[in-house]
Chains A and B, each alone.
Chain A
Amino acid sequence: MNEEKKVTKKKNILLSVTALLLLCVLLFPLYWAFITSLKTEQEIFQNPPTFYPHILNLKSYAAQVETGDFNMFRSFANSFLISLGATVIAVLLAVPASYGIAKYRFKARKGMLLSFLVTQMLPVSVLLTPMFIMFKNMHVYNTWISAVLADATIGIPFSVLILKNYFASIPKDLEEAAYLDGCNRFTAFVRILIPIAKPGVMVCAIFSFLYAWGDLAYGMTFILDQEKRPITAGIFNFMGQYGTKWSYLTAFAVVTIIPVALIFIFMQKYIVSGMTSGAVKG
């Protein structure tokens, strides 16, 4: 890659400046939400609008700790618990499943692979009502368990399809060497293969978490009580009730983005790999 012709110095500066301008334009919505959360309500309604907070106002965040309307931190914790639960289920089930699909040629293999592919494109609308009835019958309706169970169905097919490529790329000799060293199939899988496929497992965990973190439909439909709901449903609820309290609303938005931002900062390489390998080749 490095031997590729580099642009001239002058062009490099020009292109870099253009890139930064593009960045500013494309990320403007995020910046705007962030500074709105730091403004007073008065300043938000000021005309012409201010492009940075003239009076720094942290009340929108602080107020959440005390007031009972919508406790942002509680919703945050709910979301975290739900997303973590969904991630654990997805990874625990998808790791062996993808290994099975990648390394064994059994009869139902193609059919199963196809069914994972199909579930990836299902709209939530198809599942909501029957899941709703099912969770009522299982007595998990209006508990966080319902959201965990539902959210895991997004992470599993994605993870299986991604990880199967990781396992498929591990040469068979490695596995056979493990057998010679006294491993059986199961211990070879746990001790040799999973550690090699670890980057893939990370991608799956991250995406399962992100999918669950971003979910609105399941959390809103299966959990009724505001204090048990995930943060996305909380925001939606709050928007309906106090639609114009933008300082609060944008503060919720910023808090909801924090885990996403952290994942992005520390695990960016997995994001790119998940977005590309998951999509182009199933």
Chain B
Amino acid sequence: MGKIKKIFRYDNVGILFVLPAFVYMLIFVGYPIIRNVILSFQDVTAANLVRGDKTFILFDNYRELFADSVFVTSLFNTLRYTVLCLVFQFVIGFLLALFFNQRFSFARPVRGILLVPWMIPVTVTALMFRLLFATDIGVINYILRSLHLIGENIEWLTTPGTAMFALICANVWIGIPFNMILISTGLTTIPKELYESASIDGANKIETFFHITLPLLKPTIESVLILGFIYTFKVYDLVYVMTSGGPVNSTHMLSTYSYKLSFEMFKYSKGSAVANVLLVILLIVGVFYIKATTKGEEEE
């Protein structure tokens, strides 16, 4: 009995190590989340933000949002943007991972350098892509013109459809290294013997890819896609710097629309409501992520 008691006491000391970080997160993240939920049920604007009466109007904000065409557009924009980005960055990242998985002299150093786009501050990436997609001096227009694909310069960032395209390009550029490196790591975990025996059995490259590589990469692919979804779905800086939701609200995402409502129109409660919709969708996807990550935890 004494022994059990000792172990019990030993383990409980552990919480003391965790508490400082936990309390910090509780104050600066936990409390704000709750505060945000409360805000979304109130009618807070610039007038009564810090002091003054705040009336509870319950679901009025949410009801109004779903009747608001900009909100509905941002919701669908966010979904469309996320799915398209995921498809392109995943496919390109996967192909690059396969390419650099071959043993040639430059494979490792070049793959390493390709991680740089992922590390650069998103504000800078947005600026670089604004330069590339600029109408008169943009190098993309220049290339397309030289190839005679277009006659006149395209106003990429001020035309609704093309602005979204430019955003997706920039995001895919950031996402490729992330997909590539995770899949590369996944590829190294596949035992080489499997490939050897497959080639003895006379399987060709395409067959081995579909029967060995893909199935064994399934856990990696799952986490790459789920994490990619989470990171892309909450996109803020990139869109805010590149288009600020324009032209005519056509590229607003949930995050940028929330920001606009709160900090440009000072409708804090409405902005909070938009942020909560974003949060709920992320949490639903997050459940899958947590399930995937805690699976390994049990085995430890």
* A281 interface residue (CB < 8 Å to B): yes
A136 touches B11 (CB 8 A): no
* B67 interface residue (CB < 8 Å to A): no
Give CA–CA (A125, B274) in the complex, Å.
9
Give CA–CA (A96, B240) in the complex, Å.
37
A253 touches B16 (CB 8 A): no
Say whether, besides A32-B131, A152-B24, A19 and B116 are in contact (CB < 8 Å): no
B35 touches A130 (CB 8 A): yes
Give CA–CA (A22, B93) in the complex, Å.
12
* Across-interface contacts of B224 in A (CB, < 8 A): 279
* Across-interface contacts of A89 in B (CB, < 8 A): 24
* A256 interface residue (CB < 8 Å to B): yes
Interface locus among B81-89, B200-208, B229-237: B229-237
* Across-interface contacts of B39 in A (CB, < 8 A): 129-130
* A27 interface residue (CB < 8 Å to B): yes
Give CA–CA (A33, B136) in the complex, Å.
16
Contact with A along B162-188 (1 / 0, CB 8 A): 000000000001001110011001100
A97 touches B22 (CB 8 A): yes
* Across-interface contacts of A48 in B (CB, < 8 A): 142, 146
Q: Closest Cβ of chain A: how far from B158's Cβ, in Å? A: 12
Closest B residue, CB atoms, query A240: B244
* Cβ 8 A contact of B104, one of A19, A130, A239, A249: A19
* Cβ 8 A contact of A104, one of B11, B20, B134, B263: B11
Interface locus among A2-10, A57-65, A66-74, A195-203: A2-10
The interface residues of chain B, by DSSP majority, are classed as helix
* B33 interface residue (CB < 8 Å to A): yes
A100 touches B17 (CB 8 A): yes
Say whether, besides A33-B131, A93-B20, A253-B128, A49 and B276 are in contact (CB < 8 Å): no
* Cβ 8 A contact of A49, one of B21, B117, B142: B142
A108 touches B15 (CB 8 A): yes
Contact with B along A78-117 (1 / 0, CB 8 A): 0000000000010001101101110111111100111111
- List CB contacts (< 8 Å) of B28-83 with chain A: 28-33, 35-36, 39, 49-50
* Across-interface contacts of A156 in B (CB, < 8 A): 21, 24-25
Give CA–CA (A99, B106) in the complex, Å.
38
* B90 interface residue (CB < 8 Å to A): no
* B294 interface residue (CB < 8 Å to A): yes
Contact with B along A255-267 (1 / 0, CB 8 A): 0110011011000
* Cβ 8 A contact of B115, one of A5, A96, A213, A275: A275
* Cβ 8 A contact of B17, one of A11, A12, A99, A232: A99
A268 touches B28 (CB 8 A): no
Say whether, besides A124-B236, A126-B276, A153-B25, A279 and B182 are in contact (CB < 8 Å): yes
B25 touches A114 (CB 8 A): no
* B250 interface residue (CB < 8 Å to A): no
Q: Closest Cβ of chain B: how far from A144's Cβ, in Å? A: 16
Q: List 24 A-B contacts (CB under 8 A).
A: A11-B104, A23-B110, A26-B173, A29-B132, A33-B128, A33-B131, A45-B137, A99-B17, A104-B14, A117-B289, A119-B25, A123-B278, A126-B36, A128-B262, A130-B32, A133-B49, A157-B25, A216-B240, A216-B241, A232-B124, A235-B123, A253-B124, A260-B119, A275-B182
